[in-house]
């Protein structure tokens, strides 16, 4: 059987070939840049392509590797970066054209750590403005196109829309995203990739444009679970410039990744997660239980009423709106009409949140988080659909504020609950709809249990073949001229 093309290989596979000398980082980088050139006019995953920089980094990696100076498994591997994280010498627009002159004076901690691991930056990807939305729409920089539907422009999921499309389309083997209410897991689910939502404090947010500091997290979107673990290892750990990371030392997610799930305690969380589901989504996610049982896991059902409570304690997303408004008041007050309406009208709600209401909600969240951990005391993971519905045509979701809001809620509902409860999670491909659109299984774990959710996801992935499917892109090349 012939080897898959370079853009379909995982980071683990590429790394092995690079370190054996069978593959050059320059060859790999040139291959991916050529794919971006060929397909991205139709896909719109990238806002900024850094071709010359990427090739210079690839040549440096090749020289170092030939000299025996490997920086580890990520050395020579290219990646894409959500345009929410600073890269020295380049603007961080956060999806807003008026930020084109906000040129970063230094690298964000994530970018610096990936550079120390030897990774090669291909460019910066598009996103929902200010990373505030789950559908993936941006009316100013354009909405990236989900690569799985050659007929209709389907939504990519947000807010890390460009990173999700870039990985799914084989433009990059890994894309960095952020997740405040689901912005890694939603595009992962809708585009058929793996997406890791980390616990607050695991990965530094220094040099990241903030939306809601108490909820914002950083995580990778990848072609495989092992790739997510490899990149997480390089990014996580304490950083003096982000106090939230101070109490969480390094841990090894790779040590137990391939240990299997025999005896692992799992439960379908039988609560709001399953309401108003697309029938194909419910069927695919329910089928995952049998896969885990066949692998030796104990799979049951749990009420997990804390999910409904989380919804009740998140009226109209007021905590995020309040934090967003407090951080970006000047922009919202003085440039409201220049901001994407689907973002502006949500963020401005934070103006009317009183200090008493904010404290009441966040204090209630702390109590709810403690109850959620107690509810999961005898469980290792919860199993739920990543999103209630698959990717829909853009024209269906982009029909004014009211129509958009309904779609946004359906994409964010299952993921935002995890942010409120401060759980970690991974979305892994688990099937396709009758229309050929990807479906994601979300595996929730307790706070700081990234190793556990990755272990469960890896076992599922290896027992199925969903992650091996790739979109056919001849239409994208043709539409790009």
Active site residues: 82, 159, 183
Rounded alpha-carbon distances, angstroms, from residue 350 to 182, 232, 318, 453: 20, 32, 6, 33
71 burial (CB, 10 Å; 0-12 / 13-18 / 19+) is middle
Give which of 173, 221, 175, 125 is closest to 23, Cα–Cα.
Answer: 173
Closest listed residue to residue 194, CA positions, set 450, 392, 456, 441: 441
Q: Is 170 exposed, middle or buried (0-12, 13-18, 19+ CB in 10 A)?
A: buried
Handedness of CA 389, 391, 396, 400 (dihedral sign): positive
Rounded Cα distance, 440 and 386, in Å: 5
What tokens does 336 get? 């409201």
Alpha-carbon torsion (28, 33, 38, 42), positive or negative: positive
438 sits in which H/E element: strand 438-445
DSSP 200: T
**Rounded alpha-carbon distances, angstroms, from residue 439 to 33, 229, 277, 387, 451:** 28, 21, 12, 8, 23
Find out whether 322 and 350 touch, Cβ atoms under 8 Å: yes
């Amino acid at each position: 059987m012939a080897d898959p093309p370079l853009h379909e290989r995982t980071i683990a596979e590429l790394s092995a070939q690079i370190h054996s000398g069978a593959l050059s980082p320059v060859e790999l980088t040139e291959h991916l840049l050529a794919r971006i050139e060929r397909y991205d006019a139709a896909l719109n995953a990238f806002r900024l392509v850094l071709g010359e920089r990427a090739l210079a980094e690839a040549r440096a990696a090749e020289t170092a590797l030939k000299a025996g100076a490997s920086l580890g498994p990520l050395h020579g591997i290219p990646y894409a970066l959500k345009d929410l994280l600073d890269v020295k010498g380049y603007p961080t627009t956060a999806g807003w054209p008026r930020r084109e002159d906000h040129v970063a004076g230094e690298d964000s901690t994530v970018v610096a750590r990936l550079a120390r691991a030897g990774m090669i930056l291909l460019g910066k990807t598009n996103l929902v403005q200010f990373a505030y939305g789950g559908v993936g729409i941006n009316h100013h920089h354009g909405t990236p196109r989900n690569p799985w539907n050659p007929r209709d422009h389907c939504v990519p999921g947000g807010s890390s829309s460009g990173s999700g499309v870039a990985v799914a389309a084989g433009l990059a083997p890994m894309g960095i995203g952020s997740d405040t209410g689901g912005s890694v897991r939603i595009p992962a689910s809708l585009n058929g990739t793996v997406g890791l939502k980390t616990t607050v404090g695991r990965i530094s947010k220094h040099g990241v444009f903030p939306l809601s500091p108490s909820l914002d997290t950083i995580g990778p979107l990848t072609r495989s679970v092992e790739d997510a673990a490899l990149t997480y290892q390089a990014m996580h750990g304490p950083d003096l410039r982000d106090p939230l990371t101070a109490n969480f030392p390094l841990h090894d997610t790779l040590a137990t990744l391939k240990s299997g799930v025999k005896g692992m305690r799992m439960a379908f969380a039988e609560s709001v997660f399953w309401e108003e589901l697309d029938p194909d989504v419910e069927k695919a996610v329910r089928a995952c239980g049998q896969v885990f049982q066949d692998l030796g896991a104990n799979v049951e059902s749990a009420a997990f009423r804390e999910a409904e409570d989380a919804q009740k304690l998140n009226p109209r997303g007021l905590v995020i709106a309040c934090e967003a408004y407090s951080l970006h008041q000047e922009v919202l007050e003085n440039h409201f009409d220049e901001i994407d309406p689907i973002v502006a009208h949500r963020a401005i709600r934070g103006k009317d949140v009183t200090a008493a209401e904010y404290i009441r909600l966040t204090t209630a969240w702390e109590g709810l988080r403690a109850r959620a951990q107690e509810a999961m005391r005898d469980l290792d993971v919860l199993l739920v659909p990543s999103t209630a519905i698959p990717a829909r045509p853009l024209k269906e979701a982009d029909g004014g504020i009211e129509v958009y809001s309904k779609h946004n809620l359906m994409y964010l509902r299952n993921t935002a609950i995890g942010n409120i409860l401060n759980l970690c999670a991974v979305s892994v491909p688990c099937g396709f709809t009758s229309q050929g659109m990807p479906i994601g299984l979300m595996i929730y774990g307790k706070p700081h249990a990234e190793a556990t959710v990755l272990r469960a996801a890896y076992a599922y992935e290896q027992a199925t073949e969903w992650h091996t499917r790739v979109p056919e892109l001849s239409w994208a090349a043709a539409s790009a001229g």
